Structure 1
Amino acid sequence: MSASEDRPGGRPSAFRALSTAVLDRDGTVLRWSRAAAELLGRSSEEVCGRPVRDLLDDVPCEAREDTRLPGGIPETGETRLRHRSGRTIDVTFRVTPLEGASEFVVVAVPTRRLTDVEQGMSFLESLFSQDRIAVSIHDTDLRIVRANLASEVFGVRPGPSPDRLRDVMSAQDAEGVEASLREVLETGVPLVGKHQRMRSSQGAWQRRSLSLSAFRLEDATGSPNGAAAVFTDSTEQDRSRRHVELLHRAAKRIGASLDVLQTAQDVLDALVPALGDVGWVELADAVFDGEEPPKLFGAGRWHLRRAAVAADPGPWPAALLQPLASCPPLPDGLIMRDLQRGRTVTGGLAEYPMGHVPELAPLFVPEHGHSFVASPLFARGLVLGVVAIWRAEQPDPFDQEEADLLEEIATRAALAVDNARRYTHEHHAAVALQQRLLPRATTDTPATETAGLYRPAGGGAEISGDWFDVVPLPSLRTALVVGDVVGRGLHATAMMGRLRTAVRTLADLELDPDELLTHLDDLVRQLEDEAPPGHRDTIGGTCLYAVYDPVTRCCTLASAGHPPPVLVHPDGTTEVLELSPGPPLGVGGMPFEATTVELEPGSVLALYTDGVIERADHDPARGLRRLVNALETFCRPDRPLDDLGRDLLADTSEAPPDDDIALLLARTRAIAPENTASWEFPTDPSEVATARETASRQLTAWGLDELAFTTELVVSELVTNAIRYAGGPVGLRLIRESVLVCEVSDPSSTQPRLRRARTTDEGGRGLFLVAQLTSRWGSRYGRRGKTIWTEQPLDTTADDLPELSPSALS
């Protein structure tokens, strides 16, 4: 007998390897199967009637005389048969006597094939006996044919063999696995290591992570007849992987910002939903201002404020404490004291102290929240805040491993928050310093109405040395200044303060703009020489200095490498003033040149730093055109300068500028001609009386008779000194505005000096009298001599006049 024929293309049948023969008691072959003929290449005609020993290459080692078996062949054993070709074949055989006959059936199989079968059976039995590996064999309908699903992998209690996967896992999970098995059946492509979340159908535990591998089973013809699935528990591996990923994500996110609020939000973005469904970070009030928080002891008010929140899914619940809201007083307890000592705490709703206080529970316990973990932001012995995570949708409670994980992240977060707090403190100090160094944003003088605006780089994250200034000058004039120091940070801010002070000091000397910049350039070069070698390249800057005279309506400007100002005429037309810019401050070796332009009353002069015109495109020409167009659009005669400046810098509030921005807008005014009067006198001592009488008549015409006495004394002393010491002609000018200005000009450049005369001196009291009779006085130099000026308030009455001693008047 022989096995049936296999179908073409099919896999060899398990029975095809079996070869059979029938022997008589003497060992003669009586019948020979087709499989035996194929195995040895010998037909039945060649073998039948011959002793079986003729086919053996050797005698079985266990051969012995036994009347029950043919030719002394053992009942079972291994031997080597000779193929027709001469080669040998190792086989394993068994001899079985036929009942009621003197014949024996010999069944042989190649030893190699038998070993494969035995090893396969051993492997299969061992696989099905494993506790940590689950195996299921399914038919084409995905019913379970054989399985060991009652293992540690599935956590199923012993019972009847399951028929479908839904008997051991939730229907939703079973549907997902069966979909994967069905695809394997249809395509024949094995599935290896697919991640599968599983919930038990018996509720022994909540969730597990499985690794699913599957392959198709085929019959002898190669047709699919089922699928095998192998499940391994990867819960711990997935858990460890998620924790490592969470630590990596937290390390990447936390500390990337030096803003306290953003740092707190980065902490939550790393933790939610990776660790829980709802979370918040609360920081001490002092941290928001960059200060150190006080040490915490016991219950009561922790002075915390909710800095950041996160919820998944959906927006932040309205019932919970909202962002930036202050925390109410908190109850005392072991958990609260552990947090104050820097320890991480975890537990369920029953252990949460705020959950037992009716007025606090809605603020601190999310809906369906059942488990929490909280860790203090503990740095340098101080509790900067607390990070708390709740689980509501996620069913598993927090365990100690997750608490340790949060503690590790909170430790990193505490250092990041403390760094951000320190930066906030230093930044506030720097900003306060810079704000104190800048002048008032708006001024209103007889010469100009001004508005200054400053925007730090990076939306306030950086400080630099851009500045503007408005300096009131004698004779109702005004100096307009804008400058830009090289570099950023406190060094640039300090440099800006020094330059601004120097400009104000030089402006008090009433120097022409070009001469003032020359002195300022010398100062910068001196500062460069004093600086350490590595910092000399960071000292320097640009500056634009302009002086406007409301009497002459002339504005004189000089530039040290600074962008030109833009002039808006009263009719709305614009003009970029053509200046001859000198080199930046600190370069030296090149002169500065002043330019004088006449301005109509109501003109607007825009002075700015390069941050206004150099935006993201870094194209100054394009930025200047943009500024000119904006001035044409927004500048109107009745428009407040503050509003105009905000419109011009509107786009900087949306995208923080890369460079600091300083903008100074000045709307010019003019002194009416009828409020000024001027005369010229020859160098004759008798002209002093004439000058005194002329000034008195002009004050009477202006209705300022109450100032006549003091003004006559001032004019008398100044004109006398000019005629006596400087020569002529002598000029006298009176200006009436918010103050009465009296100017006496002469061709001399000798510096007038105030001194106290001795009792025996016949003179030397002139300037002393002038200083006593006026609110302030001074002198300035021009190209043709000097001018001594005085100011008197217009509301002065006789009672307000200073009391002068007889010796002073003598």
Structure 2
Amino acid sequence: MTSAEQHPNEPDHPEDTASSPSGLMDLLGVAAVLLEADGRIDMWSPQAEQLFGYTGTEALGQYAAPLLLHPEHQDAAIMLFAQVMETGRGWAGAFPIRHKDGSTRMVEFRNMRLTDSVGDHYALGLATDRSTLRQVERSVALSTRLVTQAPIGLAILDTDLRYLAVNPAMAAMHSVPVADHVGRTFAEIMPGASFRAVEAEMRQVLASGIPVVDQQVVGPAAADQGSDHAWAMSLYRLEDQHGTVLGIANVVVDVTDRYEAARRADRAQQRLRLVARGSARIGTTLEVERTAQELAEVVVPDLADMVAVDLLDSILQTGRTDTGEGPALFRVLAVKTAYPTDAARAIVPPGRLATYHADHPAAHVVRTREPHLISHVASGEHGRIAADPEAARLLAEAGVHSDLAVPLIAREQVIGVMGLARAGNPLPFDDDDVALACELASIAALSIDNAVLHHHIRSAAETLQRSLLPQVSPRHPGLEVAARYLPAQAFSEVGGDWYDVITLRDDRTALTVGDVMGSGIEAATTMGRLRTATATLANLNLGPARILKHLDEIILGLDPYLATCVYAIYDPHHARLQVASAGHLPPVLTGPGRSPELLDLPTGAPLGVGGVLFESITLDLKPGDQLVFYTDGLVETRNNPIDERLNDLLSLLTRPDPSAEDTCDRLLQQLRQPGGHDDVALLIARAE
């Protein structure tokens, strides 16, 4: 026997059983009164007692009209009663009745004729307080109007989360007709991962009764999978007056416009932060490659998944944007990806030269001076953005779907191109991304151009500097000599440091090291003038103090520069050294059996101060004794006291080297810091 056969009258839904009454009848307080054919009261319900004030004992057997109506309304009521009894047609309307307490109340009536089994007629009157009825009617009308016309989406779902009712606004939000909602589950109407959490929250609200209020949900509508919508959703559990859970109410407001506005505002804030970060992080040095790398690090991953920064090679070589007749020749300065990807192998590595076909975004940007945006790179079109077929294959396999190239413009010239691509980021580049990329490229282009200009000026100054320094012979009478010159690193300008070794009469040798205060071509030029003047004065057989005095007078007639200098003359026949200083760091004297020491010289003032007396001292040099002359770039740093660095120099010189050349190399290797911001001139003379 089947379950249906065992329970043939079992209802399909729990709400159809007698144990689940509606509360509406109780709310209306409907009273039932049964009248005999002559108008006397035969039955009187408890609700009638509440409505009219008379108990059953007081009402039963009484004529209804005199008991309940004012005299002026009794004739009309008796006539209506007679019509109902004669015709069998019911009557509905309102009458003012007289309550037992003497007050008058409007009561809504529904009157109908009843016939019993023997053919006798009775009148059944159903009555309720008209003010209560009107209140319920207004509430229903208001609810109906709100449900059907409100822009807020409203839905009722049962305990299985099947739709029982939705209003037109909800149907429009879902892009599903009202009729197609009823009987279908929430998951059927709103499929997809975005709404699984919503379904779980619905079940939680059903279980706990705790509402969810104004929670934002983002996802595609059922019939509009191409774009996201945003809703503010509230969930409430529905119960009857006995506490039985009936289902859940879903109240939804479409906030897509507000959500999109907030997203746009958030993206604008992100762009402002990115531009601010770019302004702070791009151009921290005057190194071309470093500046390009800083640009790449700002762009990835916030704007692009991969980036390449290319500079026209002619800019690096000549400072001009001369692309010639053929394709533009680029030098790749920086490449960065947001994550490990084979697409990186499709990009020319940094430091390499590259040319691109005429349709490549980089070539297009150089020709037009305008950004080149390919929002969607279709399948089979990766050759447009790749240098060669193999690179196109790698980009396609990596999922590159959007490409953007923007010019690097400085001094109204295109000096290079920044190429960006997206693969992991599913969004295509848009006009806002173009504007942001151009802003960052503009910041970087100015810094790169300054770095290139500095590079050319520095190269010219360094070339001039080296051309003015002598080629030192390692052997002089009684001396082994070694010298080194190192320019400042790329982010600083070349200074005016120099050294010289001059052969004098009687086998004597002049040794000098100096430093023109300042940097650049002007400082190098002043250094060349001083070195020339020193060589000329050396042939006049003057002592070190006299030489410095004449140099002081000479520099006063030159550009307003100051210079420090130490000048010494070694006489091998007497093994003596005369030395004088013009504000320069003291040389170091070391030798067998003695600790290295700084020579205690009258320091004097720098050359160019004017009117200063200089003094010389004389000391003996034994075979193996060694003098170390140097400029401040060897020992001065921005982070260490000069006394500490001089002690480091003395400590290094406690260990003898096989030759003066070896000592030069070791001192530079251990004292010269990476990225040194000043030139170094080093001269070592060892007595034989």
After TM superposition, the score normalised by the length of structure 1 is: 0.60
Query: 5+ unaligned residues in a row in structure 2: which ranges?
Result: 1-21, 60-78, 81-91, 98-104, 113-122
Distance in 1, Cα, partners of 2:203 & 2:552: 85
Instruction: String of CA shifts for 1:759-799, please: whole Å, max 9, x gaps.
Output: xxxxxxxxxxxxxxxxxxxxxxxxxxxxxxxxxxxxxxxxx
Note the C-alpha offset of 1:139. 8.0
Note the C-alpha offset of 1:469. 0.7
Note the C-alpha offset of 1:577. 1.8
Is the deviation greater in 218-227 or in 277-286?
218-227
Distance in 2, Cα, partners of 1:112 & 1:239: 47
Note the C-alpha offset of 1:110. 11
Specify the code of the residue in structure 1 equivalent to 2:352.
Answer: A
Specify the code of the residue in structure 2 equivalent to 1:433.
Answer: L
Distance in 2, Cα, partners of 1:478 & 1:381: 55
Q: Does 1:283 align with 2:305?
A: no
Instruction: String of CA shifts for 1:37-92, please: whole Å, max 9, x gaps.
Output: 9xxxx9999xx99xxxxxxxxxxxxxxxx97645459xxxxxxxxxxxxxxxxx9x
CA, structure 1 residues 355+604, in 2 after alignment: closer, same or farther (shift >3 Å)? same
Note the C-alpha offset of 1:474. 0.9
CA, structure 1 residues 232+594, in 2 after alignment: closer, same or farther (shift >3 Å)? same
Which residue does the alignment assign to 1:448? Answer: 480
Note the C-alpha offset of 1:285. 1.0
Q: Does 1:106 align with 2:123?
A: no
Note the C-alpha offset of 1:243. 5.6
Secondary structure, in 3 states, of the residue corresponding to 2:623? coil
CA, structure 1 residues 497+363, in 2 after alignment: closer, same or farther (shift >3 Å)? farther
Instruction: Give the counterpart of 2:416 among 385, 388, 398.
Output: 385
Report 1:232-381 matches (<5 A): 232-233=255-256, 234-235=259-260, 237-238=262-263, 241-242=266-267, 245-246=270-271, 248-250=273-275, 252-253=277-278, 255-257=282-284, 258-289=286-317, 291-295=319-323, 300-314=326-340, 317-328=344-355, 330-331=357-358, 336-337=363-364, 339-347=366-374, 348-349=377-378, 350-351=380-381, 352-353=383-384, 358=389, 361=392, 367-379=398-410
Note the C-alpha offset of 1:164. 4.4
Note the C-alpha offset of 1:336. 4.5
Instruction: String of CA shifts for 1:16-46, please: whole Å, max 9, x gaps.
Output: 99575859999xxx99989x99xxxx9999x
Residue pair 1:451, 1:664 contacting (<8 A) in 2 also: yes
Distance in 2, Cα, partners of 1:548 & 1:135: 104
Residue pair 1:136, 1:146 contacting (<8 A) in 2 also: yes
CA, structure 1 residues 216+430, in 2 after alignment: closer, same or farther (shift >3 Å)? farther
Is the deviation greater in 395-404 or in 540-549?
395-404
Note the C-alpha offset of 1:404. 5.5
Note the C-alpha offset of 1:216. 5.2
Note the C-alpha offset of 1:573. 3.3
CA, structure 1 residues 310+563, in 2 after alignment: closer, same or farther (shift >3 Å)? same
Specify the code of the residue in structure 2 equivalent to 1:573.
Answer: S
Specify the code of the residue in structure 2 equivalent to 1:516.
Answer: I
Which residue does the alignment assign to 2:669? Answer: 647
Instruction: String of CA shifts for 1:602-640, please: whole Å, max 9, x gaps.
Output: 333222233433323341111211222223357455862
Which residue does the alignment assign to 1:714? Answer: none
Q: Does 1:577 align with 2:599?
A: yes
Secondary structure, in 3 states, of the residue corresponding to 1:463? coil
Distance in 2, Cα, partners of 1:191 & 1:599: 94
CA, structure 1 residues 630+332, in 2 after alignment: closer, same or farther (shift >3 Å)? same
Distance in 1, Cα, partners of 2:516 & 2:136: 91
CA, structure 1 residues 43+118, in 2 after alignment: closer, same or farther (shift >3 Å)? same
Residue pair 1:645, 1:663 contacting (<8 A) in 2 also: no
Distance in 2, Cα, partners of 1:559 & 1:403: 61
Q: Does 1:594 align with 2:625?
A: no
Which residue does the alignment assign to 1:764? Answer: none
Residue pair 1:613, 1:627 contacting (<8 A) in 2 also: yes
Which residue does the alignment assign to 1:474? Answer: 504
Secondary structure, in 3 states, of the residue corresponding to 2:665? helix
Distance in 2, Cα, partners of 1:360 & 1:469: 53
Secondary structure, in 3 states, of the residue corresponding to 1:394? coil
Which residue does the alignment assign to 2:516? Answer: 485
Distance in 1, Cα, partners of 2:685 & 2:434: 65
Which residue does the alignment assign to 2:236? Answer: 217
Which residue does the alignment assign to 1:616? Answer: 638
Note the C-alpha offset of 1:485. 3.4
Distance in 2, Cα, partners of 1:515 & 1:112: 119
Note the C-alpha offset of 1:572. 7.3
Instruction: String of CA shifts for 1:118-144, please: whole Å, max 9, x gaps.
Output: 7676555556x56xxx78778898887
CA, structure 1 residues 366+553, in 2 after alignment: closer, same or farther (shift >3 Å)? farther
Which residue does the alignment assign to 1:95? Answer: 108
Distance in 1, Cα, partners of 2:54 & 2:542: 133
Note the C-alpha offset of 1:582. 1.5
CA, structure 1 residues 495+608, in 2 after alignment: closer, same or farther (shift >3 Å)? same
Distance in 2, Cα, partners of 1:272 & 1:265: 11
Note the C-alpha offset of 1:373. 2.5
Number of equivalent positions: 596
Which residue does the alignment assign to 1:421? Answer: 452
CA, structure 1 residues 382+566, in 2 after alignment: closer, same or farther (shift >3 Å)? same
Secondary structure, in 3 states, of the residue corresponding to 1:280? strand
Specify the code of the residue in structure 1 equivalent to 2:294.
Answer: D
Note the C-alpha offset of 1:443. 4.7
Secondary structure, in 3 states, of the residue corresponding to 2:650? helix
Residue pair 1:466, 1:660 contacting (<8 A) in 2 also: no
Note the C-alpha offset of 1:514. 1.8
Distance in 1, Cα, partners of 2:619 & 2:409: 64
Is the deviation greater in 401-410 or in 478-487?
401-410
Residue pair 2:283, 2:444 contacting (<8 A) in 1 also: no
Note the C-alpha offset of 1:277. 2.3
Instruction: Give the counterpart of 1:507 among 538, 551, 570.
Output: 538
Distance in 1, Cα, partners of 2:393 & 2:510: 61
Distance in 2, Cα, partners of 1:260 & 1:322: 16
Query: 5+ unaligned residues in a row in structure 1: which ranges?
Result: 1-12, 50-65, 74-90, 532-538, 671-810
CA, structure 1 residues 111+159, in 2 after alignment: closer, same or farther (shift >3 Å)? closer
Residue pair 1:140, 1:227 contacting (<8 A) in 2 also: no
Residue pair 1:544, 1:559 contacting (<8 A) in 2 also: yes
Secondary structure, in 3 states, of the residue corresponding to 2:344? coil
Q: Does 1:460 align with 2:490?
A: yes
Which residue does the alignment assign to 1:668? Answer: 686
CA, structure 1 residues 644+618, in 2 after alignment: closer, same or farther (shift >3 Å)? closer
Residue pair 1:473, 1:510 contacting (<8 A) in 2 also: no
Distance in 2, Cα, partners of 1:565 & 1:312: 53
| Superposed CA RMSD | 5.1
Note the C-alpha offset of 1:202. 7.7
Distance in 2, Cα, partners of 1:558 & 1:309: 54
Residue pair 2:664, 2:682 contacting (<8 A) in 1 also: no
Which residue does the alignment assign to 1:561? Answer: 583
Residue pair 2:409, 2:415 contacting (<8 A) in 1 also: yes
Note the C-alpha offset of 1:105. 0.5
Specify the code of the residue in structure 2 equivalent to 1:265.
Answer: Q
Specify the code of the residue in structure 2 equivalent to 1:278.
Answer: M
